[in-house]
Amino acid sequence: MTTPVLDARQRNILEAIVECYNQTAEPVSSRRIARDYEMGLSAATIRNTMADLEDLGYVTQPHTSAGRIPTEQGYRVYVDSMMTTEELSLREKQRIQDGYVSSNRDFEEIMEQTSKILSETSHYTGIAVSPELDESVLHRLELISIDSKHILAILLMASGVVKNQVVPITDNLSDEEVSRMSRIFNEKFAGLPLKQIRQTAQLKAVFDQYPSEPMAVVVHHTLSLDSEIHVYIDGASNFFSQPEFGDIQKIEPLFRVLERKEQVADLLSAPPSEFGTQVLIGSESGCEGMEMCSIVRSNYRTQGNQFGTIGVIGPTRMAYPRVVSIVKFTAEVISQFFEPSLMNFGG
């Protein structure tokens, strides 16, 4: 399907409709555009053009005698080829960066702060999704003997993330045995992604050098750690301030979706081909309950070349230029946190 080309006037009027509707949340009338946007055209002329835009599918009328509101298709061309993504002011950039000062650069804390900062600066719902641990590269494993029945396995990931796992053991192992185990493990596996380690570790032959029982237990438990993607959400209740969500029927399905973390993670995670910042408008997300929402998302990079996602969910009637700038800039800020100079222990 080829999108019909709009002439200059049609573009101007569509842009005016989008911007006016985004401010007021009410259908935009021809008179309003004639009055508020200096086009040198009368309301009647604008009416004609609006009828054209409606035929082309860019705007629609809630009812016969109402103004126009943009369709998803209308928003799509606006986002793709009309809006000018404004650079954030220094003040706002500072504000975003300041949001992180209190944090200890602890991974979880950064994620939490991110969702909060995104929601507070955008006034919509902020979301941060951790990278999939499974794809992440193991830098080193450390084993510590806790007591006669437990070992603590510490996984230092190349990304800077640290994960623990308590491993129950039956035999009492000496400190030497424990450190030998970690040495063997690291010789085999340090530098590989967890996923691959998991696959390889199933081959028993790998451990023929060592009495297989305790080693197998340790490996098994170590690798069975929670590899879930974590999702951090903040500012969901900002939706209550949006007039078009002033109705329970409108807002309930949305909150039901936001409570299913895995679904939110899928929603935010871009197809691997696409990097950078994207906008999903309305039903483009393909998510039931999110038809009235748009998503602005962006990738960040952790050190092990892992990618996580952050984003903002708001009403379709969203301040796109601003939100795109915020999400993009915040993703850059996070990526910096994970840059070698700051967090390197993967020399």
Answer yes or no: are the C-beta atoms of 271 and 280 closer than 8 Å. Answer: no
Alpha carbons within 13 A on the beta-carbon side of 332:
9
Instruction: Choose the one of DNA, a copy of itself, none that binds residue 183, judging by a C-beta under 5 to 8 angstroms depending on kind.
Output: none
Site string for a copy of itself, 185-204 (x = CB under 8 A): --------------------
Specify whether the backbone of 238 is left (phi greater than 0), alpha (psi in -120 to 50) or beta. alpha
User: Of these partners, DNA, a copy of itself, none, which one is at the site of residue 42 (CB under 5 to 8 Å by kind)?
Assistant: DNA
Instruction: Give the nearer residue to DNA in terms of CB position, either 54 or 120.
Output: 54
Instruction: Residue 67: name the closest of 43, 89, 85 by CA.
Output: 43
Tell me the CB-side half-sphere exposure of residue 163, using CA atoms within 13 A.
23
Element spanning 234, H or E: strand 231-234
Q: Smallest distance, Å, CB 344 to a copy of itself?
A: 7
Which positions from 26 to 65 touch DNA by CB under 7 A, shown as an x/- string? -xxxxxx-------xxxxxx-xx-xx--x------x-xxx
Judged by CB, which is closer to DNA: 48, or 148?
A: 48
The residue among 65 and 102 lying less far from DNA, judged by its C-beta, is 65
Closest CB 46 distance from DNA, rounded Å: 8
CB of 65 to DNA, least distance (A): 3
Start-to-end CA distance of the chain, whole Å, equals 51
Contact 165, 225 (CB under 8 A): yes
Q: How far is the CB of 79 from a copy of itself (least distance, A)?
A: 29
HEC profile of 59-78: EECCCCCCCEEECHHHHHHH
- 258 vs 296 by CB, closer to a copy of itself: 258
| 53/281 with CB nearer DNA | 53
Cβ closest to a copy of itself, residue 46 vs residue 197: 197
Residues 248-287, mask of contacts with a copy of itself (x by CB under 8 A): x--xx--xx--x----------------------------
Residue 127's DSSP bridge partners are 233, 311
Q: How many CA atoms lie within 13 A of 70 on its CB side?
A: 30
* Beta carbon of residue 55, minimum distance to DNA (angstroms, whole number): 9
Q: Which residue, 225, 226, 206, is CA-closest to 216? A: 206
Strands, DSSP E only, in 37-168?
A: 59-60, 69-70, 125-129, 138-147, 150-157, 162-168
The CB-side HSE value for 308 (13 A sphere, CA atoms) comes to: 32
Here's the x/- map for a copy of itself, 147-176, by CB under 8 A: it reads as: xxxx-x-x-x---x-x-xxx----------
59-88: contacts with DNA (CB under 7 A): 61, 63-68
Distance in angstroms (rounded) separating the CA atoms of residues 178 and 19: 65
Q: Does 285 bind DNA (CB under 7 A)?
A: no
Name which of a copy of itself, DNA, none residue 144 binds, using a CB cut-off of 5 to 8 Å depending on partner kind.
a copy of itself
* Cα–Cα distance measured from residue 155 to residue 177, given in angstroms and rounded to the nearest whole number: 18
Is 108 a residue that touches a copy of itself (CB under 8 A)?
yes
d(CA 149, CA 24): 65
What's CA 16's distance to the chain center, in Å? Answer: 30
CB of 252 to a copy of itself, least distance (A): 4
Minimum Å gap between C-beta 80 and DNA is: 25
In this structure, the number of other CB atoms found within 10 A of the CB of residue 225 comes to 16
Piece of 52-60, 140-148, 269-277, 295-303 that binds a copy of itself (CB under 8 A):
140-148
Query: Which residues bind to DNA, rule: CB under 7 A?
Result: 27-32, 40-45, 47-48, 50-51, 54, 61, 63-68
